[in-house]
A and B are shown apart, each in its own frame.
Chain A
Amino acid sequence: MSIALRNLGKRFGNFVALDNINLEIPTGELVALLGPSGSGKTTLLRIISGLETPDEGDVLYFGEDVTDQSARARNVGFVFQHYALFRHMTVFENVAFGLRVRRRKKDEIKKKVLELLKLVRLDSLEGRLPAQLSGGQRQRVALARALAIEPKVLLLDEPFGALDAKVRQELRQWLRRLHDEIHVTSVFVTHDQEEAFEVADRIVVMNQGKVEQIGSPQEIFEKPASQFVFDFLGNVNVFEGHISRGQASVGSFSVDYPHYTEDQTRPAMLYVRPHEFDIDKSSNGTSSFRAVVVRAHPVGSLARVRLVSLDFETPFDAEIHIERFMELSLKAGDTVYVAPKRVRVFTAESNVPDYSI
């Protein structure tokens, strides 16, 4: 493990920014810290870099305790949210800075900087000032500057946050390819789940100073560990229902729920993702419910269908394959039977999903 965090805690006055964080980041991985603002992800990144000190706990690099080492001694590359380029220096001098303060030889610096500028595809712009560059170009200068010191770890704070959507899209694919090329252990902070899913090998979902879930993008998407992760990932239908006698139900629809077999009825939330519905023209018993199509339109190879259930009147979204959509020839006003392929049940007591079919 190249970075290990043990029982990290950090407070700002009464505000608990980080609460008992334990995390291990394997060598060469690209890890995303994902969470809403105020979840402690940037604080965590700054503690890993040494720009911030934890109140408790340890930071280990390659097994060595670096908690008391300064950012300077740790040799990390840090890319700042607003780039923090040196505005009075040219692109070349910005990238060379880390080498100049280390008193490297002139020709060695020149060789290294030109090599890096080529890597970030800015080799023709070495004489420009940061003010003469676009946002995307600046971000790449910031990255080259951080890589120049040959860091053990590369840390990026909301690296694409200040860019417009199109450039952001390009840059994150580029960052992924770059990482595949140079394989430096990297951690980046983002509040954009799409970004995390597209770029990272592994995602750490954070909320209120705690780690909610750690896993590959697929794991996080397939098996969200908590209600928070589910809500944060978004794009999910929530049905307010109840549980009793081994069943979780909403209206006439019910699924098996063996965790709770008592007679007393208790409230529960049923989570179903849009692509986890089957739509049919005929009923197949209690595992489906009746709904009316409000709107239906094809989007690429999928069709998005907005429905309202007839007996519990909750609007929800479903996504089905375009072929199925054509076959059913769905249009607004149609009455259909909807069968969830997978349901996750959350109760007030447990934040962890108890059941899924």
Chain B
Amino acid sequence: MLLIVGCGKMGHEILAATLRSKRHLQEPWWVRWSLIVFTVAVMTVLIVIPVICVFVNAFADGPRTYWDRIINDQETLDSIRVTLTVAPIAVIMNIIFGVSAAWLIARFKFPGRSWLIALIDLPFAVSPVVVGLMLILLFGRRGFLGPWLIEHDLKIVFAIPGMILATAFVTLPFVVRELIPVMEALGSDEEVAAVSLGANAWQLFWRVTLPNIKWGLLYGIILCNARAMGEYGAVYVVSGRIPNETDTMPIRIEKLFQNYDMPGAFAVASILTLLALVTLGVKVILERRARREMELAKQMRETGTPV
């Protein structure tokens, strides 16, 4: 007992000494303040002002005109429809892929595992335009699979399927990246317990694994969706930019802009920006929950008790 008290006292002394020395380790006030000012200035110029500009320009002629530009423009309406078709399907594809790949990577050791992890990040590294070109080389008329597709009357390039593929490719890492650390922290204890209680793989996934990863998964989905709706480069190449058919919102904005229809371009842009802001808000909430989920998982596994 005495020994413990002794240690505690010593601990306090060390802590106090550390705090005192910390003051000497800190940068002088003017360094700290200039760093803060610099960061805030950059953020303002690069992010805050442009975002405000989008909304100011969109509503420059009043809310009624703003509304008219969106609702009475068939091409704009169609571009919204196309985006709302392509993005969700690409997201669903990545949910299925993401959950299976994360499970595989977090639960099993197999040859080529680290290669697979590296490969999953590839879409982040490759330029979206290159992704679009790859798809044309594969599925285009003169592409590798082109003749076979024409024979079977299937249209991928310059149509919705190609755009979905391009979007899914570009957004592929989001869900997996988010799930791997959560599943690794979670460990397989609960899953083994479920198996010992007689659950089959299907029951195991829906009743045990999914509820445990739901916040991490939702977070991945939100990020994936935001990126999918905003994707421009890859979709630009494979869509063929057919008005009313394969124009997505970002492509529509570009077209309006090229036609010097600034208010129209800003109106559509404001919708995309608004979606981004909403995503950001949801992201902050989900991120907090996902992190809690992970920390709790770690504690429960290591000690069997929470804090």
Interface on A for B, CB 8 Å cutoff?
49, 51, 70-72, 75-78, 80-89, 97-98, 100-102, 130-131, 134-135, 138, 145-146, 148-149, 162
Contacts and interface: CB of A to CB of B under 8 A. Distances in A.
A101 B296 contact: no
Given A72-B195, A97-B194, A82 B200 contact: no
A101 B190 contact: no
A166 B71 CA distance: 72
B198 A149 contact: yes
Contacts, number: 82
Interface string B201-223: 00100011001100000000000
A48 to B, nearest CB: 12
A24 B158 CA distance: 71
Given A87-B190, A97-B207, A101-B200, A162 B305 contact: yes
A134 B304 CA distance: 10
B303 A86 contact: no
B208 to A, nearest CB: 6
A83 B306 CA distance: 13
Contact of A80 (B189, B211, B302, B306): B189
B197 A97 contact: yes
Contacts of B195: 51, 70-72
Nearest to B297: A87
Contact of B199 (A76, A77, A89, A101): A101
A138 B306 CA distance: 11
Contact of A135 (B192, B211, B212, B304): B304
- Chain B: interface secondary structure? helix
A98 B208 CA distance: 12
B227 interface: no
Nearest to A145: B197
A82 B212 contact: no
Nearest to A148: B197
Given A87-B296, A87-B300, A75 B198 contact: yes
Contact of A98 (B190, B198, B301, B306): B198
Most chain A beta carbons < 10 A, residue from B208, B296, B303, B305: B305
Given A101-B199, A149-B198, A82 B193 contact: no
Nearest to B193: A84
Given A72-B199, A97-B207, A135-B305, 10 more contacts: A71-B195, A82-B302, A82-B304, A85-B193, A97-B199, A98-B197, A101-B197, A131-B306, A146-B197, A162-B303
A-B pairs with the 10 shortest C-beta distances?
Answer: A82-B304, A98-B197, A84-B189, A84-B193, A78-B196, A162-B304, A88-B211, A131-B306, A101-B199, A101-B203
Contacts of B199: 72, 97, 101
A223 to B, nearest CB: 36
A222 B258 CA distance: 95
A89 B300 CA distance: 14
B198 A87 contact: no
Interface in B263-281: none
Contacts of A100: 207
B198 A88 contact: no
A23 to B, nearest CB: 21
Contacts of B207: 86, 97, 100-101
B304 A86 contact: no
Nearest to B191: A84
Nearest to B186: A87
Nearest to A163: B304
Given A71-B196, A72-B200, A101-B198, A84 B305 contact: no
B212 A88 contact: yes
A102 B194 CA distance: 12
Contact of B194 (A86, A88, A135): A86
Interface in B226-253: none
Contact of B192 (A51, A88, A89, A162): A51
B136 to A, nearest CB: 45
Contacts of A148: 197
B256 to A, nearest CB: 47
B216 to A, nearest CB: 13
Contacts of B196: 49, 51, 71-72, 76-78, 146
A70 B199 CA distance: 11
Contact of A131 (B203, B208, B211, B296): B296
Contacts of A149: 197-198
B298 to A, nearest CB: 12
Contacts of B304: 81-83, 135, 138, 162
Contacts of A145: 193, 197
A80 to B, nearest CB: 6
9 contacts: A51-B196, A70-B195, A78-B196, A82-B303, A86-B211, A87-B300, A146-B196, A149-B197, A162-B305
Nearest to B202: A101
Contacts of B208: 86
Nearest to B197: A98
Contacts of B296: 87, 131
B198 A84 contact: no
A319 B192 CA distance: 47
B85 to A, nearest CB: 34
Nearest to A93: B207
